[in-house]
Amino acid sequence: MAVSSTSTNLGTNTNSNGTNYGPALIVLTSLFFMWGFITCLNDILIPHLKAVFDLNYTQVMLVQFTFFTAYAIVSLPSGMLVEKIGYKTGIIIGLLTAAGGTALFYPAAGYRSYGIFLFALFVLASGITLLQVAANPYVAILGKPETAPSRLNLSQAFNSLGTTIAPIFGSILILSMAVKGADELAKMTMTDVETYKLTEASSVQTPYLLLTGMLVLIAVIIALFKLPKIEASDQSSSTGQGTSYDHHHKSAWGYKHLVLGAVAIFVYVGGEVSIGSFLVNYFKELLNMPEAEAGTYVALYWGGAMIGRFFGSITLSEMKDTKKKNIYAALVFVLALGLALYVTKEYQNLAAFSLSNFGKTLTFLILVGLNFIAFNLGKQKPGRTLAILAFCAAILVVTSMLTNGPFAMWSILAVGLFNSIMFPTIFTLAIDGLGKHTGQGSGILCTAIVGGAIIPVIQGAFADNIGIHHAFFLPVLCYIYIAYYGIKGHIPSFAKTAKA
């Protein structure tokens, strides 16, 4: 049944008959949280497996290669599956498949097999791919087309909440245990070696068994929850020109702005994942920082994306009340303050307050302020905002490459703030006006997430040859292309024709 929507305001959605989409969006937001959490755990898994199996950077990046290759293989079939069985059933199957993948971590750790780890990651990623193919366009369609970027940014903000918590969670349960090398194991008795191996295995087994239980629980909740039935063909163009554009082409591949958007998704995910995957080892090299501590700082990179998405859900919305906007923005700054105090552990200095005791927290808040200014320069225009943030991200990565020490560390961490709205904004711009081809378009865009498989491996090869510090030139090229897409590439050909 087609559903026409009237207004949306930061996640509150109703149609012309008074149907409230808020509860559905809340349930769907839990999915965004879970797949963000699981995906970001790879950043913690990478240094752990590197040490356990004595891998080089290229070899350990097979973790991301395997995980994101699933998007290339599974996305298009998932799009066809969702068109046949519907969004809700697709989401449930995706959750159960992901649960199967996390359960496989138990035998992988027990047998200490890198191959089983990679297979488990592929199964896990296949489930998450199906979730993304179903949930992203569903949230975009579930409300007014003009505010789809704001709505998807809000849902993606909770995805980033998951990516923020995951490094802290993983650092405590996985990286806190120092991995012993072959020489150290040779000096231990057989009994001590077996005890150590069991302890090392459980550091991965327990977290992923907990995730298995959570995924199954969410699948049960989704099955029992009544979600609105909306077809992909119900989506109209956010240009306000209606739904007739889908008749111009026989498939989604005929839309140039979608194809260019798929390239933008490819390089965005590749650049973001490349940076996140190297941060623990990068901070260890820059500052001789212990892995467990470096893992908690990764939370600021992903937490920055969460903060930026909350800013995006405000600045890209149709909210007219300036007072409300300022209140929301203030709350986001408070969230940033709490996150920085926790990660830097400067909350321990509250009793003896002085600015010198909160240098790291203030540095992060200044960067958050610059991010907020960048959003406002976007003037509520998704394409313009995307271009500004992409240019800022490129400049920050270049700055980190050309500097050392804390300055280089904070420059690369700040990239997370500017990454924030890129995926949901590119996604909504790319499916603009596809109408009945929206499902296929979503599958194409999710296939492009394979950039997270290819670009990190290429960067790993460069890191092995020219050093980790200068291998970051690859994400810079990614952000330059995203800026182009924000300026020109996202404009649909039908919109150009109408304007002419």
Region of poorest pLDDT, from 281-285, 290-294, 365-369, 466-470? 290-294
pTM: 0.75
Asked if residue 244 is part of any domain, the answer here is no
> How far from 373 is each of 191, 232, 381, CA to CA, in Å?
59, 35, 14
Asked if residue 253 is part of any domain, the answer here is yes
Asked if residue 113 is part of any domain, the answer here is yes
Count of structural domains within the chain: 1
- In Å, the largest CA–CA distance within the chain is 79
pLDDT at 146: 63
> How far from 47 is each of 59, 177, 331, 347, 412, CA to CA, in Å?
12, 12, 34, 28, 18
Which domain range does residue 182 map to?
Answer: 21-226+249-499
pLDDT tens digits for range 39-79: 878 777 877 787 777 788 888 888 888 988 888 898 888 88
pLDDT at 148: 64
Taking 50 as the threshold, does the pLDDT of residue 189 lie above it?
yes
pLDDT tens digits for range 346-395: 888 777 666 667 889 999 999 999 999 999 999 888 899 999 999 999 99
User: Hey, what's the torsion of the CAs at 247, 252, 256, 259, to 10 degrees?
Assistant: 170
Angle 102-103-107 from CA coordinates, rounded to 5°: 115
Give the residue-averaged pLDDT of 236-265: 70
pLDDT at 396: 97
pLDDT tens digits for range 10-34: 344 544 444 556 777 777 888 888 8
Q: What does the alpha-carbon distance between residue 300 and residue 304 come to, in Å, rounded to a whole number?
A: 6
Taking 60 as the threshold, does the pLDDT of residue 8 lie above it?
no
Give the residue-averaged pLDDT of 97-126: 90
Token couple for 460: 């790993």
Q: What does the alpha-carbon distance between residue 19 and residue 468 come to, in Å, rounded to a whole number?
A: 52
Asked if residue 83 is part of any domain, the answer here is yes
pLDDT at 195: 61
Token couple for 393: 């991200």
Bigger pLDDT: 450 vs 264: 264
Tokens 């999915």 sit on residue: 31
Residue 169 CB-half CA count within 13 A: 19
Give the residue-averaged pLDDT of 93-117: 90
Bigger pLDDT: 107 vs 140: 107
Region of poorest pLDDT, from 80-89, 239-248, 263-272, 485-494? 239-248
CATH number at residue 300: 1.20.1250.20
Asked if residue 129 is part of any domain, the answer here is yes
Nearest to 218 by CA among 93, 382, 47, 317: 93
Give the residue-averaged pLDDT of 463-479: 93
Asked if residue 403 is part of any domain, the answer here is yes
b/e code 291-330 from CB counts within 10 Å (16+ = b): bbbbbbbbbbbbbbbbbbbbbbbbbbbebeeeeeeeebbe
The confidence band for 85, taking pLDDT boundaries of 50, 70 and 90, is confident
- What distance, in Å, lies between the first and last C-alpha atoms of the chain? 35
Asked if residue 239 is part of any domain, the answer here is no
User: Hey, what's the torsion of the CAs at 303, 109, 206, 198, to 10 degrees?
Assistant: -130
Asked if residue 361 is part of any domain, the answer here is yes
Q: pLDDT over 90 for what percent of the chain?
A: 30
Q: What does the alpha-carbon distance between residue 263 and residue 489 come to, in Å, rounded to a whole number?
A: 10
The confidence band for 37, taking pLDDT boundaries of 50, 70 and 90, is confident
The confidence band for 159, taking pLDDT boundaries of 50, 70 and 90, is confident
Task: Say if residues 418 and 308 touch (Cβ distance below 8 Å).
Answer: yes
Region of poorest pLDDT, from 148-157, 186-195, 309-318, 358-367? 186-195
Give the residue-averaged pLDDT of 409-415: 95
Task: Say if residues 219 and 92 touch (Cβ distance below 8 Å).
Answer: yes
Task: Say if residues 105 and 122 touch (Cβ distance below 8 Å).
Answer: no
pLDDT at 3: 28
Taking 50 as the threshold, does the pLDDT of residue 4 lie above it?
no
Nearest to 201 by CA among 173, 167, 182: 173
